[in-house]
Structure formats: structure tokens, C-alpha cells
Structure 1
Amino acid sequence: MNILIVGATGTLGRQVARRALDEGYKVRCLVRSQKKATFLKEWGAELVSGSLSQPDTLPAALEGMDVVIDAATARATDSLSIKQVDWDGKVALIQAAKAAGVDRYIFFSILEAEKYPQVPLMEIKRCTELFLSEAGMNYTILRLCGFMQGLIGQYAIPILEGQAIWVTGESSPVAYMDTQDIAKFAVRALSVPATEKQTFPVVGSRAWSAEEITSLCERLTGKPAKVSRLPVNFLRTMRHVTRFFQWGWNVADRLAFAEVLATGVPLTAPMDEVYQTFGLDPQETTTLESYLQEYFGRMLKKLKELEYEKNKTKKKTAKIPVKKSN
């Protein structure tokens, strides 16, 4: 089976590529920069230059492909807007995939996107789900709500460096999931007929609030956290300000999503039936405790090694006799 992965250099896409390769699939990746995607080639993937913003590059990338796994999304720092990538680009990709005779399309959406029409990214995801379901292909939609990897920059690194952790309003508990586990569901869907033309939540074992994550990090590091809260009204003001500038459109759209995480409403879903359908063992899914414990274990070990080398260098320097001039 030949798979085209779109967004393969991203946090989730690279794990999907790794998983598919490990399971013996032939993987092709659509990339904007082959230089930034050399690691994918080293893993065994074929690289094809192209972009969702350039529909004319898609037919060549799709030639001979059986499956598309779509993990692409606009980033806050991208020059292209969320609409250009997550709507215009996805519509072009779905249409090109159908024209190329692609049989399966795996799409990553956002949990409960239909409840937040005022949030651009979530509304676009909802519309894309609808467009894909009516496109006439065998699709599987996986609704996510948060990556554990994103917590490293938000919580882990600031605590280790003694910097402030910024949280918003009444934080919503989120059922974060390791992207490696999400990749398992995406690749497994290819061999499970019951997942065709279906939509599933794919979330972690429990929802964690900002306060609970902060306490967990403090316990694992033995370091106190400095927590600063951003009022929701401040976020709204910043969103309106950044909307005035083209460079700030993606930032504004992300700030709108941040407001969802400040409502206090949990983002989670039951997963028992999902595990049964996919034939996966929930006991093998990474918990947030084990994920952060493993991360802090590695980082604290490195910090100790660096401190040891620093002290050793200081001692050597102190022992070098100073030659006195006559």
C-alpha cells in the first residue's frame, strides 16, 4: 500500500510517517522544503516537492498513491493564512486525491469543532469534515484535542528555567495524547474496514487542567512553578488588534482557539469503543505522568552532566599555576 503523507515535517506528521514506515508501508511525503525534510528521507520515505497552496503540484505527488494521510495545518508563523492552508489547500487536496483514484483519506480534525463556529480553525475543520464526507472516498476522521509534545514548551521548559508559566482564565481540562499514540490510530485505520467512512475521537486517558499539569511538573522536578494568568478579555483585545495586520491573522486565529481553552469546559471523550474498533490496547497508550516523567528524567540527567563538566573544568583551571613575571 502506497501512502502520501501531507504535513510530514510537523509534530504529528513525522510520527505518522515513522509509524507507517515501521509497519512496512511505502511512504511518500509532500514537502515544501526537501532540505528541512532530510530526516524523512533518511528514515526511508520518498520526498516530493509541493504545497497545498500550489494545487498544480498535487497530481504528481498523488500519482500511484492508495492513501492520503493529511496531517497538515497552518502555523502561527506561516506566511499563508489558516484559510489558505486548512480550507483552500485541503479542498484542493481532496479533489486532487479523488481525481487520482485514491481510495482512503485519513483526516485529523479537532474534538467538538462544531460547538465553536466563532473560532476560525475549528469552523474550518468542521467544514472540511463535511466536504470530505461528501467527496465520495473512503475516509476516516480522527478528532484530536491536544498533543503532549506541546506541553514541553508551555510548562516543562519554563519550570526548568525558572520562567513564568502563562495560563488563561479558568483553564479547560484537556485529554492530551502523545503524537506517537495518535499515529498508531491513523495507521491502524488502514487495515480496519470498520473505520471506513467513520469519525472517531482520539484523546488521552484523562483530561488535565493547567493547575494539575503544573503540580505534576513541580513534583517531578522538585522546582516551584511561577504561574501568571492572562485574563480572557486580554486575549480578546489582542485578537482584535492582531486582526488589523496581515502578518497577525494566524496569531489572531490561534488566540481565538486559546479562548476555548479558557472556558473551563473539559475537552475529552470516551475511548473504550474506539480502542475496541481499532484493536488497540489502552494500557499501551502513554499517560501524561509517564511522558513528563521520562522527559524530566532525561533533562535533569543532562543538566547534572553539564554541571559536573562545568565544575570539573573549573577545578582544572584552578590547578593551573600562574607564572609570575620577573
Structure 2
Amino acid sequence: MKLLIVGATGTLGRQIARFALDQGHQVRCLVRSQRKASFLKEWGAELVGGDICKPETIPPALENIEVVIDAATARATDSLSIKQVDWEGKVNLIKAVKEAGINRYIFFSLLNAEKYPNVPLMEIKRCTEQYLAESGLNYTILRPCGFMQGLINQYAVPVLDNQSVWISGESTPIAYMDTQDIAKLTLRVLEVPETEKRTLPVVGTKAWKPEEIIALCEKLSEREAKISRVPLGLLRFMRQITRLFQWTYNISDRLAFAEVLATGQPLDAPMEEVYQLLGLDPKQTTTLESYLQDYYTRIMKKLKELDYEKKQKEAKKKKRSPFKSKNVG
């Protein structure tokens, strides 16, 4: 198939691009910066410059495309707001796809988006779901709730480096999923007509509390974590402060997720129907235990290699140079 991937430089988008190329699909990526997306070109993808917030730049990327996979979202460091990217930009993209006569559209939303109208990104995702459902396109909405990749910097690295691990005062279990598994599932969706005009959860094998993830990191790294709790009230206060400045709007909107964490309600959903629909084996889904085990195995091996090299260099320095003068007497 000829695929257009929007958001291909992101954590999830790049995995979708890589697996699509591996499966022999023709992949085109709409990118704002071709320099930052050069790795996609090296993999074999075609790059087309454009921005969903600039509707006039979208049509060239849609020429001869059969399926659009939309994995784009605003980042905390973006100059554009979540509303501009995740709502106005998505409306531009959906309109352009319909005008181009492309029938298939895959959209990544968020699990339980409809339950949090006061959380900007969640509410915008809900509105986009509704807009897409009314567009007439053969859509599939996929709803993840968290990526395992984000846990490395949040938990695994701080525990290993003896740094503080920051968690909120609440403990909401989240069913994180490996983005590689999400990518495989996404491409399988394209092969199953029954997924058209459906909304499907995309979550991991178990919902994990922060304390459980930390305990797992401690076990695998054989180190004790320094846990620092951030009061929910402080997160809410920081959100109010960051709303005062335009350049911190995106940070403020992400701090709104404190309201999601405050509920203590698990971000999880049954996946049996999804696996059955797609004909996939749930046993092949990466568990958080195996994901972190693989990370720590690789990083500990590297640390041992670096320590060995350091000792070798120190040993060489201790050897007397043959050109050094000897004492006589």
C-alpha cells in the first residue's frame, strides 16, 4: 500500500514508518523539517515538506496515497499550541484527505478521552474523534494510554543513576504498551476490513502503578530508588502559573494530566476482542517486565564494557615509559 504517515518523527510514528517499510509498503512522510527527518529517508521513506497547520501544504503529500496514518500531536516544546496542532491541524488534514478522495484514515486518540472534558488534550481528542466519525471517511480510531519508551527516562535512568524519581501523590495504574507492538497492530488494522469505522483500545498486558514500576527497576538494576512525591496541589499550581505565558501553554496543558492521575482510576481496557478481530496472539505482546529487563541487560553490559576500558587505560598509564630516565646509584 501507499501510506502517508503524519507525525513520523515522533516516538510512535517512527516505529510505524519502520515496520511499514519492513513489510514492503511505500511510505511517504509529511514533515516540517526534512533535516530532522533525515533518518526516515535513510530507512527508505519519501519525505514531503509540509505542516498540517498550513492547509495549503497538505495536498501535495496526498497524491496517489491510499491510506493516511495520523500519529501527529503537539509537543510540550512546540511554538504552536495543542489546539492549533491537535484540533485545527487535524481538521485541515481530514478535510484535505476527503477532498483528495482517500478513503482510509487511521487516527491515534487517547483512552478514556471522553471522561476528562477539563483536560485540554483529552477533550480535543474526543472532539476530533467525533469530527472524524462525521466526515464520511473509513476511519479507525486507536486509543493508547501510554508508551513504555517514556518510562526509561522517567524511571529506569534515574534509578540507575541514583537520581530522584518524581511521582505524583496519586497512584493511577496505566497499561503502557511498547510502540513497536502498537506499530505492528496498526499495520494489521489495514488488512482487516472489519476495523473500518471502529474505535479500538490499544493497551498493554497490565496496568502498572508508579510504585510497582519503581520496584521493578530496583530489582532489575539492583539499586535502591530515591522517590520524591509531588503533591497534586503543586501540579495544579504549576499549571496555573504556566498558563500565564504563551510560550508555556503546552506545558500547562500537559500538567492538566494531573487531573487524570488524581482520579486513581486505571487507564486500562480489555484487549481480547481486539486481538481476536485482528487475528493476533496476545502472548506476543511485550510485557513491561521483559521490556525493562532488555533495557537493563543492554545498559549494564555497556557499563561493564566502559568500566573495563577505563581500567585498561589506567593500567597503561601506570606502566613506566621506556623513555623515562632511570635513577643510577
TM-score in terms of structure 2 length = 0.97
**Partner of residue 160, structure 2:** 160
Residue 248 (structure 2) aligns with:
248
The Cα offsets for residues 47-72 of structure 1, whole Å up to 9 and x where unpaired, read as 00001121111000111111100000
Alignment: residue pair count:
326
Q: Secondary structure at the match of 1:52?
A: coil
Shift of 1:216: 0.3
Residue number in structure 1 paired with 2:191? 191
Whether contact under 8 Å (1:165, 1:227) holds in the other structure is: yes
Quick one: which amino acid aligns to residue 159 of structure 1?
A: V
C-alpha displacement at 1:324, in angstroms? Answer: 5.4
For 1:123, the aligned partner's letter is E
Name the residue aligned to 1:323. Answer: 324
What residue number does 1:57 align with? 57
CA separation in 2, counterparts of 1:182 and 1:302?
28
CA distance in 2, matches of 1:297, 1:318: 32
2:195 maps to a residue whose letter is T
Equivalents in 1 of 2:44, 2:38: separation in Å? Answer: 10
Kindly indicate whether the alpha-carbon contact (under 8 Å) linking 2:236 and 2:258 is maintained by their aligned counterparts in 1: no
Q: How does 1:118-267 map to 2 (within 5 A)?
A: 118-267=118-267
The CA distance in 2 between the partners of 1:91 and 1:48, in whole Å, is 20
Aligned position for 2:307:
307
Counterpart of 1:287? 287
Matched residues in 2 for 1:168 and 1:264: separation? 11
Please say if residues 169 and 263 of structure 1, whose CA atoms lie closer than 8 Å, have aligned partners that are also in contact: no
Mapped to 1, the partners of 2:304 and 2:265 lie a distance apart of: 40
1:122 corresponds to which letter in structure 2? M
Deviates more, 1:253-262 or 1:270-279: 253-262
SS in 1 for 2:263: coil
Q: Give the structure 2 partner of residue 2 of structure 1.
A: 2
CA-to-aligned-CA distance 1:57-102 (integer Å, 9 cap, x gap): 1000111111100000000011111001000000000000000011
3-state SS in 1 of match to 2:176: coil
Which residue in 1 is equivalent to 2:272?
272
Q: Equivalents in 2 of 1:301, 1:262: separation in Å? A: 38
Structure 2 portions without partners, runs of 5+: none
- Cα distance in 1 for partners of 2:240, 2:184 equals 39
Q: What CA distance in whole angstroms lies between the structure 2 residues aligned with 1:117 and 1:209?
A: 24
Q: What is the letter of the counterpart of residue 294 of structure 1?
A: D
TM-score with structure 1 setting the length: 0.98
1:108 aligned residue: 108
For 1:110 and 1:47, the matched residues in 2 are separated by: 27
| CA RMSD across the alignment | 1.2
Contact 2:52 2:92 in 1 (8 A): yes
What's the CA shift for 1:103?
Answer: 1.2
In the alignment, which residue of structure 2 is the partner of 1:74? 74
**Counterpart residue identity of residue 3, structure 2:** I
Q: What is the distance in 2 between the residues matched to 1:159 and 1:320?
A: 40
- Aligned-pair identity in percent equals 68
Aligned mates of 2:169, 2:265 — CA distance in 1: 12
1:19 and 2:19 correspond: yes
CA distance in 1, matches of 2:157, 2:261: 21
Partner of 2:46: 46
Query: For structure 1, which segment, 88-97 or 31-40, has the greater mean C-alpha deviation from structure 2 after superposition?
Result: 31-40
Alpha-carbon distance in 2 for matches of 1:276, 1:63: 34
2:303 match: secondary structure: helix
Which amino acid letter does the alignment assign opposite residue 284 of structure 2? E
Equivalents in 2 of 1:85, 1:240: separation in Å? 22
- Provide the rounded CA distance (Å) in 2 between the counterparts of 1:108 and 1:181: 14
- For residue 47 of structure 1, give the secondary structure of its aligned residue in structure 2: strand
Residues 262-283 of structure 1, C-alpha deviations (whole Å, 9 max, x = no match): 4321100000011000111101
The 4+ residue runs of structure 1 with deviation greater than 4 A are none
1:324, 1:255 → 2: CA distance?
66
Tell me, in whole angstroms, the C-alpha distance in 2 between the residues paired with 1:258 and 1:3: 36
The 3-state SS of whatever aligns with 1:261 is helix
**One-letter identity of the residue aligned with 2:183:** A
Tell me, what secondary structure is at the counterpart of 1:35?
coil
Question: 1:261 deviation in Å?
Answer: 2.3
Listed one character per residue, the Cα deviations across residues 26-45 of structure 1 (whole Å, up to 9, x for unaligned) are 11000111111111111111
User: Does the 8 Å CA contact 1:235/1:259 hold for their aligned counterparts?
Assistant: no
| Structure 1 unaligned residues grouped into runs of 5+ | none
